[in-house]
Amino acid sequence: MLHDLAETRRLLETQGIDVVRLIFTDLLGMTRSKDLLVSQLERSAAHGPASARARG
Amino acid sequence: MTTTRGGVLDAGTGSFGDGLPDMVANLDTDTIRPIPWLPGVAYAIADIDNPDGSRSDVAPRAVLRSVLDEYEKEGLVPVCGPELEFYFAQRTEGGWERILNKAGRVYTTGSQVDPDGHYLHLLRMLDQLNIGAFAGNHEFCPSQYEINLWHSEAMDAADRTFLFKTAIKDVTASRGILGTFLGKPWNDEGGSGFHLHFSVTDGDGVNRMHDGGGELSETALQMIAGVIDHADAIAAFTNPTVNAYKRLGPDTLAPYRSNWGYDNRSTMIRIPPERGQGTRLELRIGDGSANPYVIIAVVLAAALDGIRRGLTPPAAAEGWAYEDEERPVLPMSLKAALDALAADAGLRDLLTGDFIDVFTVMKRDEVERYEAEVDDPDTRDVTAWELEEYIEDY
């Protein structure tokens, strides 16, 4: 996973991407999101950014 | 759980009673797509998991994944083609209004139906987002559009539909208008559907919906029977708002009865005329307020139940099927659909109980607020409450 994320970060950086908008739907169909800085991707996405379930 | 109005409800498992545990959003690297209208930013879809890495029972993408696992056990691969309509609207001093009002422009494109270029810009952005958009046009009602997406395996189709809806909300907001998939936003014009074309193939991609001689296969007939058997309950998911039921009714080109027919747009399940690899079913009940993962999951679950139980469908409707009195009328309110869902133990067995329980808590709250705040909750007219509750979010 860490290896994948490092590769993903390098690929995104070559495309000029500095922010990954992580999106999912809640049960009602609303789009929920969190912006991840690509420079921090291995650390922030390795185990998933945690959120309280009340927002799900 | 958070309501559309920002309220927070105790929805049982995994909520207040359990001390508001974490959920974890795991990035699916296969879904990364640069956002054409936001240079330097890319979308990535997340899987919502429990902190121990197990699937969340209430995450829509996980619910679909569980249903697809069941198809895999049968050696079948579901393929889906979403078809959604939407309106462009704007908020004025008088409330929400369509941005165009000239009727009679179905199947047109160009400046008369797109004077500000919003639609054409959106079509190009969706193309560059690489979600399988391939065509579009102004629809039957003024200010209503359709942009078509290619079909694909179910999870990919759900992901692309989710991105499609997310993108349209974002692009239109950036241009100062509203794109809305709400099922029935206006009293004086028709609604917006989320028609779902679906079929199954074997592991080699060979369509399993026809018998090789121009007729539907036994599998296809069983899938029709399963969806019809659970129709009242799955309506709660395909039509998940108070507003959605005001789109349904006789002579609307939206369904009214739980029936099916060959190339018949007055039925709930239409069988398009293509055969061979293009043989498929089209479920016409849903509207754009449906969650793409959920609508695909529940429809495929009901169809799979038909296969596993070897169900036989009722006779195909012929002619103007709104008058097909052999078949029952579909639920005409969210409350009735939720009651049907509560009574459908078979559907509960096919989906996770927590998923149904949490959804039901959210939707019962919506019904209660509607009934408390609207003078005549039984009205078939679209109320100001519905626009305030839904139009910006859907």
Domain residue ranges of chain B, discontinuous segments joined by +: 16-390
Structure confidence at residue B285 (pLDDT): 94
Return the residue in A5, A10, A18, A28 with the most chain B beta carbons within 10 A, the one to mutate for interface testing.
A28
B176-200 per-position pLDDT tens digit:
999 999 999 999 999 999 999 999 9
Contact with chain B for residue A22, Cβ under 8 A: yes
CA distance B231 to B209: 20
Per-residue pLDDT at A52 exceeds 50? no
Domain residue ranges of chain A, discontinuous segments joined by +: 2-46
Question: Model ipTM?
Answer: 0.90
- CB neighbour class for B384 (10 Å; exposed up to 12, middle 13-18, buried from 19): exposed
CA distance B4 to B388: 10
Which chain A residue lies closest to B36 (C-alpha atoms)? A17
On whether the B16-390 domain is CATH 3.90.1300.10, my answer is: no
Q: Which of residues 41-100 of B touch A (CB under 8 A)?
A: 41-49, 51, 56, 58-61
- Which residues in A lie closer than 8 A to residue B48 (C-beta atoms)? 24, 56
Q: Least CB-CB distance to B359: which of A25, A27, A53? A: A27
Structure confidence at residue B264 (pLDDT): 93
Verify whether the Cβ–Cβ distance B169 to A31 is below 8 Å.
yes
CA distance B154 to B77: 8
Please state which of the ranges B68-77, B117-126, B253-262 shows the lowest mean pLDDT: B253-262
Verify whether the Cβ–Cβ distance A56 to B58 is below 8 Å.
yes
B197-217 per-position pLDDT tens digit:
999 999 999 999 999 989 999
Mean pLDDT for A44-52 is 66
For chain B, what is the mean pLDDT? 93
Structure confidence at residue A53 (pLDDT): 45
B26-60 per-position pLDDT tens digit:
889 999 999 999 999 999 999 998 888 888 888 99
B85-114 per-position pLDDT tens digit:
999 999 999 899 999 998 889 999 999 999
Number of H helices, E strands in chain A: 2, 3
Structure confidence at residue A55 (pLDDT): 36
Structure confidence at residue A54 (pLDDT): 39
The alpha-helical segments, DSSP class H, found in chain B are: 60-73, 118-129, 154-174, 218-229, 231-238, 292-309, 334-343, 345-350, 353-373, 384-390
Verify whether the Cβ–Cβ distance A30 to B32 is below 8 Å.
no
- Which residues in B lie closer than 8 A to residue A24 (C-beta atoms)? 25, 45-48, 59-61
CA distance B392 to B173: 10
Contact B327, B254 (CB under 8 A): no
Return the residue in B9, B13, B29 with the most chain A beta carbons within 10 A, the one to mutate for interface testing.
B29
Can you tell me which residue has the tokens 């160009």? B110
Contact with chain A for residue B361, Cβ under 8 A: no
